Amino acid sequence: MRYSLLQLTFIHLKEFVRQPAVFFWGFLFPVAMAWVLGVAFSNQSEPIHRIGILVESKSDSPTAVQWVQEALDKQNQLDVELVPMTSEEAIKAVKKGEIQLYLENSFTATSDWIFHFDPRNKEAERSYLYLKSFMMDLSDQVDSPNTVRPRFTLQEFQSIGTRYIDFLVPGMIGMGIMNSCLWGMGYGLVELRIRKLLRRMVASPMKKWEFLFGYFLSRLAATCLESAFLFGFVFIYFDSTVTGSWPALLAVFLSGNCAFAGLAVFLASRTDNSRVGNGLINTATLPMMILSGVFFSYRNFPEWCIHIIQMLPLTRLVDSLRGIFNLAYTMNDCLSSIVVMLSTGLVFSLLGLKVFRWH
Amino acid sequence: MIRVEKVSKYFGDLRAVDDLSLEIEKNQFVALLGPNGAGKTTLIEMIEGIQKPTSGTISIKGMNWNRHRDALYRILGVSLQETQFMDKITVEEIMRLFSSFYGLASSRTEEVLEMVDLESKRKTYTVNLSGGQRQRLALGVALIHNPEILLLDEPTTGLDPHARREVWKILLELKSTGTTLILTTHYMEEAQALCERILIMFDGRIQTQGTLREILNRHGCWELIEFRTEKPCRSEWFDTLPGFLTIESNLTKEGNIHRTRIQLKDIAAAMPSFWKIVTERNLRIEDMECRKMNLDDLFVSLTGRHLEASDENEDG
């Protein structure tokens, strides 16, 4: 190898390892993420497929449920959790994203099964294929000439609010708000500090609160436009609607923006290194993007961490938006989330401003 | 106008400014001259209120940064070292933004654009401006509220001579408006061209100050003969020259060529004797320069370092 090439390689490598923050984001953070996602959530004793099974009332213990449950137990299928529910409860659970699929049969025979789900939802389709193959295997093992092979019928979700797109759009809007605030405002502040423009601006009578509030308003305008554009598209193309209260939607939207703007100020409060800023914002956004139920339901995560996930600001925001879009949530239904999100924004803003480096 | 009393600034163990005192009168144009790391930026940023002194006091028109922050912002115009404006914002938009901080009418933006000769660039994104235009924009931003005191941190660093002179022209025009100017620079000719008072800083202290003539006279800055010879010269050959002060022989060696510098009171009086010695010693002179000493020579004699050859690192 040429000496100069060797020198250049080592110079870049030294520059990299001599920056402890970069070293952390490059080496330790990915390992921590791999541990959280790979080890903690791969616990085989936790169910992966949460599937509704229709019963007439909750107190029933119908043969069909028992048949499937016993069969599951027999084959040690611990990754499937059957949740008996009425038809009304099942639809509600689908709208909330708690389940993506539910099973129905005639309650008199175990052979005719109807799978209710949206085939465009890949997670639901995976659960369907998984359960179907396992039920087929089970019927093959019953060595009796009288055994009727089970028949499977697909019933595609038709009503607005139960489709995957209805689940996805509120998640996308919530994620848009988070990214717009954390990248647009948080990273923007770090960049202004790097350019020394922040330093220049505070060497004038500019009010600091005006500067930050102006930044917040600009991001709010951007998220309004982005969300309206997305909603306009799904309204026209997928006939999506808002079934809940519009004032509640406005309040949730604003409080979500406040929460993430506060977090942005906090994350951007000290650093003047773009790579560190990048790492900090990724640390906040990546786990929430994965855990908070943007693309798939967080109900499939282990029970112990669902409570933690529900405390994340993005989960609060997405759950509230989903409730307003699909479950006709009113202001009262969203009030606790609005208060929590506003408080989150306030606490992080105050913490951030306390240590904020203007110079 | 500005009074700095026994001000020191430490960054951890590093002493950037060391027990420095200074007074600047109204309408004075003052240059803080020194290499990078001399403490110029730290001193000017303490006057600007961006940094707090570790000890000592700074007062501007009898006000200080603890009590009169808002009033001071209105009388000070500031241009920081290496400020980069937002890329995709036009010159005019930047000017309007900063004028809004002072509650000024848009007519002031027009005046300042004309003053810094950026009218034709009003719709240009800052990212597309040349280095000189960016510095003029930074100067325009500093002048937007017609400040009484202008504090400029290396306003022409990195500019070509033409762009530098354009900035000087704007600053010299301010002289007649009663503005007080403090600028930091490591360009000797900038200090000479713009400022009647020069403060030479090194190692966090003011080494010397006054007008250019005062400084040169005070430090015995007379005249110089610099020459290069094939043979090395010995100091004692020249110490009998009329008006002889000092000699630095064999300063640099380029191949077989040796450089020597003699400091004298009067070159004309010493020249006959100088040529006599050269002839007697059979010195073959490759090239020779006779001149009056300048600030750079003085700076070398005070600090052992050249002003403009100093490193390009961040000023302490």
More confident residue, B211 or B249: B211
**pLDDT for position B311:** 42
Of B179, B181, B210, B215, the C-alpha closest to B197 is B210
Q: Do B82 and A196 touch (CB under 8 A)?
A: yes
Assign B5 a pLDDT band (cuts: 50, 70, 90).
Answer: very high
Q: Where exactly are the structural domains of chain A?
A: 49-156, 164-355
| Average pLDDT over every residue of B246-259 | 77
Q: What is the DSSP letter of A149?
A: P
Pick the residue from chain A with its C-alpha nearest to B48. A203
**pLDDT for position A154:** 80
pLDDT surpasses 70 at B279: yes
**pLDDT for position A157:** 74
Chain A residues closer than 8 Å to B60 by CB: none
Type of residue at A80 = V
Q: What is the DSSP letter of A299?
A: G
A195 near B CB under 8 A: yes
Q: What is the DSSP letter of B125?
A: B
Chain A residues closer than 8 Å to B101 by CB: 201, 204-206
**pLDDT for position B316:** 38
| Average pLDDT over every residue of B89-103 | 90
Q: What six digits make up the tokens of A272? A: 């003047």
pTM of this structure: 0.75
Chain B residues closer than 8 Å to A200 by CB: 78, 80, 83, 141
Write down the residue that tokens 């003011």 correspond to: B206
Of A173, A175, A337, A322, the C-alpha closest to A255 is A337
pLDDT surpasses 80 at B41: yes
Q: What is the DSSP letter of A30?
A: H
Q: Do A359 and B51 touch (CB under 8 A)?
A: yes
Mutate to test the interface with B, among A192, A200, A274 (most CBs of B within 10 A): A200
Q: Do A205 and B86 touch (CB under 8 A)?
A: no
Contact B7, B56 (CB under 8 A): yes
B78 near A CB under 8 A: yes
pLDDT of chain A, 359 residues: tens digit per residue: 566 676 767 666 676 666 676 667 656 765 666 666 555 555 545 556 778 888 766 555 566 677 677 767 766 666 777 888 888 888 888 877 788 888 887 545 556 778 888 877 777 888 888 777 777 776 666 555 555 566 777 877 766 667 788 888 899 899 999 998 999 899 999 999 998 889 899 888 888 888 999 889 988 988 898 889 888 888 888 888 898 999 999 999 999 999 999 999 999 999 888 888 988 999 899 989 989 988 888 877 777 888 899 999 999 999 999 999 988 899 999 999 999 999 999 999 999 999 999 88
B70 near A CB under 8 A: yes
Pick the residue from chain A with its C-alpha nearest to B87. A195
d(CA A178, CA B124): 32
Write down the residue that tokens 């990214």 correspond to: A179
Chain B residues closer than 8 Å to A206 by CB: 101
Of A269, A248, A235, the C-alpha closest to A354 is A269
**pLDDT for position B284:** 87
**pLDDT for position A251:** 97
**pLDDT for position B63:** 94
Chain A residues closer than 8 Å to B70 by CB: 205
Q: How many CB pairs under 8 A join A and B?
A: 42
Contact A264, A181 (CB under 8 A): yes
d(CA A275, CA A282): 10
- Structure ipTM: 0.78
| Average pLDDT over every residue of B80-107 | 87
If one looks up domain A49-156 in CATH, what number appears? Answer: 3.40.190
| Average pLDDT over every residue of B266-287 | 90
**pLDDT for position A34:** 60
Give the orientation angle of helix A246-267 with respect to helix A274-291, to 10 degrees: 140
